[in-house]
Amino acid sequence: MGDIRVRVKVFASIRDALGEGEFVLSLPEGSSVESLIKYLKAKYPQIADILDCSFIALNEEYALREASLRGGDTLAIIPPVSGG
């Protein structure tokens, strides 16, 4: 098995914490949305709590965390919105 490259887009508080809104990750073939989230939580512990309650879109459609990733996919991580 090889690696796949996945584009990740982040918004709002996650973008602010990471200092960038888009990046590409290399993950093992067969990875799921959940495995990508676990990787991000380990690499960026300051956003772990936000990731737990964020919505995930895979190729512009909301996705379950069990969804499989393929090379070239785009994953958007949308944190909860607050305000009034």
The domain total for the chain is 1
Contact 36, 27 (CB under 8 A): yes
Q: Is residue 66 one of the residues assigned to a domain?
A: yes
pLDDT for the residue 50: 96
Q: Is residue 25 one of the residues assigned to a domain?
A: yes
Mean pLDDT of the chain: 95
Name the residue among 21, 55, 20, 22 with its Cα closest to residue 37.
55
Whole-model pTM over 0.75? yes
Contact 69, 84 (CB under 8 A): no
The amino acid sitting at 28 is P
Q: What is the Cα–Cα distance from 1 to 77, expressed in whole angstroms?
A: 26
Q: Is residue 84 one of the residues assigned to a domain?
A: no
Name the residue among 73, 77, 66 with its Cα closest to residue 5.
73
Q: Could you read off the pLDDT of 29-58 as tens digits, one per residue?
A: 999 999 999 999 999 999 999 999 999 999
For 47, the domain range is 3-78
Q: Give the residue with greater pLDDT, 81 vs 61.
A: 61
CATH of the domain at 15: 3.10.20.30
